[in-house]
Amino acid sequence: MPTTKISPVHNGPLRIEGDFEIVDPAGAAFGLAGRTVISLCRCGHSASKPFCDGSHNRNGFSDTVVARELPAPKPKL
């Protein structure tokens, strides 16, 4: 069983549950205040990026999520 579960929400954010750390591009960790569940913005309108603030509801973000297989990675040259 994985220690982290990531679930894209229909018309909403990425929900992350479990044991995880979120860092900025420089590698500094965000202070999550002990949270084990958070949502990351997918719509691009959140005022608290990378975290979701519910802006997807106000801006009409629409994206239905369906699991699928990814193609094999291209070989590195």
pLDDT digits (tens, 9 = 90+) for 9-33: 999 999 999 999 999 999 999 999 9
At 70, give phi and psi (nearest 5°).
-85, 150
Structure tokens at 21: 């750390």
Better-predicted residue by pLDDT, 2 or 54: 54
- CA pair distance 68, 35, nearest whole angstrom: 29
Q: Confidence band (pLDDT; 50, 70, 90) for 54?
A: very high
- CA pair distance 31, 22, nearest whole angstrom: 9
In CATH, the number for domain 1-64 is 3.40.5.90
Of 7, 13, 10, 15, nearest to 65 (Cα)?
Answer: 10
Domain regions of the chain by residue span: 1-64
pLDDT digits (tens, 9 = 90+) for 38-50: 999 999 999 999 9
Residue-level pLDDT at 46 = 98
